[in-house]
Amino acid sequence: MSLDVICIGNLNIDVTAYINHIPDLDESIYASNLTISPGGSAANTAVGIARLGLKSGFIGRVGADPYSQLLIKSLIDEGVDTSHIVIDNTGNTGFVIVLVDKSGVRRIIRWPGVNLNLSPLDIDEEYVRKAKVIHASGVKANIAYSIANLCSKYKLTFCWDPGLIAVREKLSNLAETLSKTSMLFISETESKILTGASSINEAILKILDVGVKIVAVKAGARGSYIAFNNNIHHIPAVKVEPIIDTTGAGDIYAAAFIVQTLKGKNPIQSAKYASVASALKVRLSGARNIPRREEIEEFIKNNYNIL
């Protein structure tokens, strides 16, 4: 099977509570709503890519428990190939607890479960080599290193959203992996932790210096910063109301950016399209409540000057 993009990383059950404010120490509050839904950054991106019209697959682990079938079915229903998901009987499926206040700001508690057992041995070389792009998100540094080498071997595009765990390894320890990274998706906070920089621009230049081709720094309400060829471009956020839940906004941003790049768009065009996709996501609750291609194109059509 030939796929456009294979996503590698976490597959979780998300338990999301919507609250008026983050409780103080020993304070007990009621949630206005609570949802239980499929999640996981890499899995969300795989779904986003499928909803945007390309073929995607997923590599990851779930526990041998009732939640595993719910998660696998959620991907199958979206058209994502699940043939390389491992059902791991040594532990349980990962869970994420998300608290979302009325402004859309989140607090997240992760219980990774068998996601932590993902290893380079789970990555089938024959399966991966037939794709165009490999996107890793939230994986341990050694796994990212292995994926980057595979992509280099088969001349595939390697995209990486390292997350907080990997960026704590520091820039010097990740330099070899980053040198083989075509697109790096990273938050403002993560970029500064990774590089020790005090500003976004300084962080971006340090990352470009180790060989990353395109850096996309996600900066929330300020939009994003796209850097390539030693130039940094600020892409303002697309303003929408109401802002309900920002969970998954970065995942659909990555999906939209990758899809547009595969369609031949330049990084600035891809970032602007991705900004629309992530803006439409935050109006809805849940990480998987992400827009389809038709919704994005309709929004762009009705806001003709958005791009």
pLDDT band at 20 (very low <50, low <70, confident <90, very high): very high
d(CA 276, CA 129): 31
pLDDT for 28 beyond 80: yes
**Domain 5-10+43-91+121-302 top-level CATH class:** alpha beta
Over residues 129-179, the pLDDT tens digits come to 999 999 999 999 999 999 999 999 999 999 999 998 899 998 999 999 999
- Give the model confidence (pLDDT) of 93-138 as tens digits: 999 999 988 877 788 999 999 999 999 999 999 999 999 999 999 9
Average pLDDT, the chain: 94
Which pLDDT band holds residue 304 (cuts at 50, 70, 90)? Answer: low
Q: What is the mean pLDDT of residues 243-253?
A: 90
Question: How confident is the model at residue 305, as a pLDDT?
Answer: 62
pLDDT tens per residue across span 282-292: 998 888 899 99
Parallel, antiparallel, or unpaired: how do β-strands 224-228 and 81-88 relate? unpaired
* pLDDT average, residue stretch 69-77: 97
Provide the 10 A C-beta neighbour count for residue 29.
Answer: 13
Eight-class DSSP state of 13: E
Cα angle value 10/14/17 (rounded, 5°): 150
Say whether pTM exceeds 0.75.
yes
Confirm if 98 and 16 have CB atoms less than 8 A apart: yes
- pLDDT of residue 220 exceeding 90: no
Tell me the C-alpha distance between 203 and 127, whole Å.
Answer: 35
In the chain, where are the structural domains located? 5-10+43-91+121-302
State the pLDDT at residue 245. 83
Q: What single-letter DSSP state applies at residue 18?
A: E
Contacts of residue 98, defined as CB under 8 A and 6 or more positions apart, other chains included, come to 14, 15, 16, 17, 106, 107, 108, 109, 247
Region 204-210 average pLDDT: 97
Return the ∠ at Cα 57 (arms to 118 and 16), rounded to 5°: 70
Contact call for residues 165 and 142 (beta carbons, < 8 A):
no
Per-residue pLDDT at 170: 85
Average pLDDT over residues 27-40: 94
Give percent of the chain above pLDDT 70. 99
DSSP state of 236: P
Tell how far CA 238 is from the center of its chain. 19
Task: Characterize 262-278 residue by residue with b for buried, 16 or more Cβ atoms within 10 angstroms of its Cβ, and e for exposed.
Answer: beeeebeebbbbbbbbb
Residue 23, preceding peptide bond in cis (omega within 30° of 0): no
| Overall average pLDDT of the 73-101 stretch | 96
Supply the pLDDT for residue 287. Answer: 83
pLDDT over 90 (residue 246): no
Q: Which of 117-121, 152-156, 192-196, 300-304 has the lowest mean pLDDT?
A: 300-304
- The greatest distance separating any two alpha carbons of the chain, rounded to the nearest whole angstrom, comes to 54
pLDDT at 103: 79
Examine the pLDDT at 244 and tell me if it is beyond 90: no
- Helix, strand, or coil here: 27? coil
For the stretch 1-16, pLDDT in tens is 789 999 999 999 999 9
243: phi then psi, degrees, rounded to nearest 5: -95, 110
Q: Residue 122 gets which letter from DSSP?
A: G
